[in-house]
Structure 1
Amino acid sequence: MAQRLTLGIDVGTTSVKAGVIDATGQVVAQFAQSYPTTRVGAQMVEQNPEDWITLINNALAAFAGYDVSAIGLTSQVNTHVFVGQDGAALMPAIVWQDGRAGAEAAALDVRVTQEQKLAWWGAPMPIDASHACSRMAWVAKNRPDIWDKTRYVMLPKDYCLLNMTGEATTDPLSNIGLVDNDLNYIPQVFDLVAGAAGRAAPLAPICQIIGKMRNGPFQGVPVVSGTMDAWAGLVGTGGARDRSTVYLSGTSEIMGISSHEVVPTPGAIVFPQCEGVRLHAAPTQSGGDAKVWFAQASGLSLDEMTDLVADAPRSSATPLFLPQLQGERAPLWDADLRAAFLGVSRQTGQADLARAVYEGVAMAARMALEKLQSSANVCGDSIACGGGGFQSAPWNQIRADVMGVELNVLAAKEPGILGAATMAAIGVGDYTGFEQAYDALAVFDRSYVPNPERVAQYNDLYALYQEAISQNADLGKRLTRVNNPVSAS
């Protein structure tokens, strides 16, 4: 059967990206436009859901001349939209980086035993500040007016699908912590928050056609359910192959290993088996976001920062950077952690600080990967890589040296778009499954081999990094109490 063009849309943390993909994995046409994120205080991170809709409509208008067979979506997750009966957002979306529900999360987590977690999820995953129930508990307590009007608590992808098709659905993989290993909702989890179960959208398989475009240039074109950006990107980068190791770099770093074996490991996420793939994942909190922060604070462009690092090798003046600017997800799951530079001297310059940021992000990724290797019982000698963060050659080499393995970089710059388009193609029958689609679409065009001397140096530095994380956690909490004496009391 002739394979047709498919359209993939990725509603990311900072931008909407979309592309028309042909049968060889080539991007025929591409769209990318960013939208703002609002940060209030140390914990609140919000976005306007209507920005996502506007940019999706802009992308569809830009692709109006293409004969597209299906549309697939992926998006950031653990970002939640409280939606009213009319399908409109009732308040700004609470972004995955938002830590306002930390107290609610802690109160919920102690009500769930380790035995329950293992039975439900196959791993002792915590209920953290980004969990849907934590967010619902916070809104119910602090915004009861919003809670009373809420019909659905939706992820960005599902809010956009509702706008595009009129259908209210979600997929099981995107709802980590709410579904079990059989891809069904867990009633006992919803029971933690009164009224939570009635505000969850119905589940639909990730490659199922849930409806058709209601209007616009692609009116009548089938739209596939899709799933979260991490799963879509990891599978699009190579996670469809059993026992493969994959690495996505964007706003955050996301490590993944595909393995049907599960060794319960604190800190790791284990997805239910779906479409023949059992994915172990470890998303950090800050990757490219740390680079953006440093560039903005230093008055540099991102390219200028990369050039600085390329021209300045590690020296005795290079400090150690802990990249937990807004807490940490995998493998530490501590929303209160904060970043630090350690070992700054009079000789430390801007280039040393920039290099330290790149190295610190790589070490956070290594820490996450080590937990995954235990969880999946897999330790490979190469990693398939994708995402915007892998467009920097100096950073790629640092990552290879810190991790001590060869990195192979996907030619497609946006694996999330490729993953979304792949789900659309499977949904309309162009491929029988993800492994066949991966064989047809995935092309790698660059490799980075670790330098043995630098690997040895980074091994020593990584040992210090691990020790510094534990020490900094306590100091950071004490500093927070000093800086916020009223709230601490």
Structure 2
Amino acid sequence: MAKITLIGIDVGTTATKAVLIDERGERLAGFALPHPTQRPQAGHAEQNPDDWMRGVLGALQTFSASHDLSSLQAIGICSQVNTHVFVDAGGAPLLPAIIWQDSRSAPGAAALEAQTNAAQKTAWFGAPIPIDASHALSRMAYVRRVHPDLYARTAHVLLPKDYCVLQLTGAVVSDPISAVGLVDAAGYVADLLALVPRAADVLPPLASFTTVAGRIKPGLPCAGTPVVVGAMDAWGGMFGVGVVANGDAMYQSGTSEIAGIVSSTIVPTPGVILFPAYEGITMHAAPTQTGGAALGWFAQVLGRTPGETAALASSAQGSVPLFLPHLQGERAPLWDSASRGVFARLDPSAGAAEMALGVLEGVAFSVRLAFDALKASTSVDPGTINIGGGGATSDFWCQVRADVLGKPLRRCAAPESAALGAAILAGQSQDAASPLADVVRRLVRFDRAFEPDASKSSSYQDRFGNYVELYESLRAFNAGF
């Protein structure tokens, strides 16, 4: 008799990843297919939606070929958000997807931001969530201004997961959590959407994560299998690292770093994204702009792999420079698109190993800053932080993070934590009687804990202060470019 199975898929920034699990959470197979990002000019970052579908269909074909999926229950998809694809009435992309790293809409975002105020946004969202270059309305205003003909033909503005669900099932649907900065407890905020003509017409209807959007079309792999609406990567990863209850904290490490704390206490705090409550879960999140991407950049400079570069950092003996990882600006909690990366305090003893360690530390400092904002927003100082994602596979980097944060880190065993979360949501769609928290605890496993070294945490406290001072000292300089 075939095992009962579930598939979770994560359309990430650098790759589409997928995991096949059984009903007990055992990982039966994994899949990953990289996809490129095009940067045709400064500030632009684009992807081809067809590349996402190559990954999604590749995962389904691979799992079908290597396993008996006759008892496959459902498929879940999560994805990067603040990435938007404009499609016509037939579901075809009208231009490349504008991904979350793209900053071309910053001027339009500032104009929209000026038409709102902190009090309005706090009333809508519970916190003064900024309208930045990655906000859906900023993207719509940009396309409307630069490509008015294409905007007139736009039927839907979709996130990557929603685009893939459309291609697999024909359904147009999203979820309220992924509609960052667009919805309140009642749905889309009409007064906000009114700032951009047709915005209310092109955004998809909303449904819960575990609602079955449709079934896979005939002729595609796994035809007939239910596909759920799914969630954004931060929430998929949150479930995938076992975070569901008040006081739980997560650290997701991928292209960017995402820090988050679950808390029903809300203290409006600038820089923090507050999501609407979902099944009693109120997530306060602080996504940075660059995490694993910073390590990938420096690895490319050295002509090494990211794994080799992280290992090289462990051999550092000389003076370690401070590194500001704002290679493409910074998101939470600073929301400063003008900031840029820098190495500071270099001396002749600093070589490749020391600079590599500076990169690892700088990313950890950016997350320390994010958690400081989250602790203010939630009134929670977490005891242990659950960590997952591809950037968490380095034991050395996890230890650096634990030392910088001064907190134990508990690592999820499955490296595809967001894809695992998507599979969990697929599972709950078929087992609605079980509370989501119970499903998460049953299916998530951990492989190691990293305890902070007290002496290193003390020295990192001083370096963190220097990190913040470095950013502040460069603000005027960066703003002048």
TM over 0.5: yes
- Whether the 8 Å CA contact 1:239–1:256 is kept in 2: the answer is no
Distance 1:431 1:356 in 2: 48
CA distance in 1, matches of 2:373, 2:430: 37
Alpha-carbon distance, 1:382 to partner: 1.3
**Contact (CA 8 Å) 1:338, 1:473: kept in 2 or not?**
no
Query: Who is 1:236 aligned against?
Result: 240
Structure 1 segment 73-472 matched on structure 2, within 5 A: 73-182=77-186, 184-215=187-218, 216-313=220-317, 315=318, 317-429=319-431, 432-472=434-474
Structure 2 residue ranges without an equivalent (≥5): none
Q: Which residue of 1 aligns with 2:43?
A: 43
Look up the SS of the partner of 2:295 in the other structure. Answer: helix
Give a deviation string over 1:162-187, Cα, whole Å, max 9, x none. Answer: 000001111111001110034x1110
- For 1:40 and 1:351, locate their aligned partners in 2 and report how far apart those are by CA, in whole Å: 32
1-structure distance, mates of 2:46, 2:148: 19
- CA shift digits 1:39-74 (9 cap, x unpaired): 133300000001111221111111113231101110
Q: Which sits farther off after the overlay, 266-275 or 24-33?
A: 24-33
Give 1:222's aligned amino acid: P
Is 1:15 matched with 2:18?
Answer: no
Moved over 2 A (4+): none
How far, CA to CA, are the matches of 1:200 and 1:396 in structure 2? 39
Amino acid of the structure 2 residue aligned with 1:293 = W
- Taking the aligned partners of 1:329 and 1:306, their CA distance within structure 2 comes to 24
Q: 2:69 aligns with which of 49, 57, 66?
A: 66
Question: Aligned letter for 1:410?
Answer: C
Q: What is the deviation of 1:417?
A: 1.1
Deviations 1:368-402 (A, max 9, x none): 01101111110012111111111101111110110
Please give the root-mean-square deviation of Cα atoms over the aligned residues, in Å. 1.3
Deviation string 1:441-483 (CA, Å, 9 cap, x unpaired) is 11111111111111111000000111111112221222x2xxx
Residues 431 and 25 (structure 1 numbering): CA distance in 2 closer, same or farther, change over 3 Å?
Answer: farther
Q: Is the 8 A contact 2:131 2:181 kept in 1?
A: yes
User: In the TM superposition, what is the alpha-carbon distance from 1:237 to its structure 2 partner?
Assistant: 1.0
Instruction: Identify unmatched segments of 5+ residues in structure 1.
Output: 481-489
Aligned mates of 2:25, 2:432 — CA distance in 1:
13
Q: Is the 8 A contact 1:239 1:279 kept in 2?
A: no
> Would you say the 8 A contact 2:211–2:229 is kept in 1?
yes
The question of whether the paired residues in 2 share the 8 Å contact of 1:122 and 1:181 is answered with no
Cα deviation for residue 412 of structure 1 reads: 1.2
Q: How far is the alpha carbon of 1:235 from its aligned partner?
A: 2.4
**Paired residues, number:** 475
Assess, with a 3 A threshold, how the Cα gap between structure 1 residues 373 and 3 changes in structure 2: closer, same or farther.
farther
Instruction: Please tell me whether the aligned partners of residues 242 and 441 of structure 2 are also in contact (alpha carbons under 8 angstroms).
Output: no
Does the 8 Å contact 2:255/2:293 carry over to 1? yes
TM-score by length of 1: 0.95
Q: For the residues of structure 2 that align with 1:474 and 1:27, how far apart are their CA atoms?
A: 49
Residue-by-residue CA offset, 1:106-143 (whole Å, 9 max, x unaligned): 00011112111111100011100000000000010011
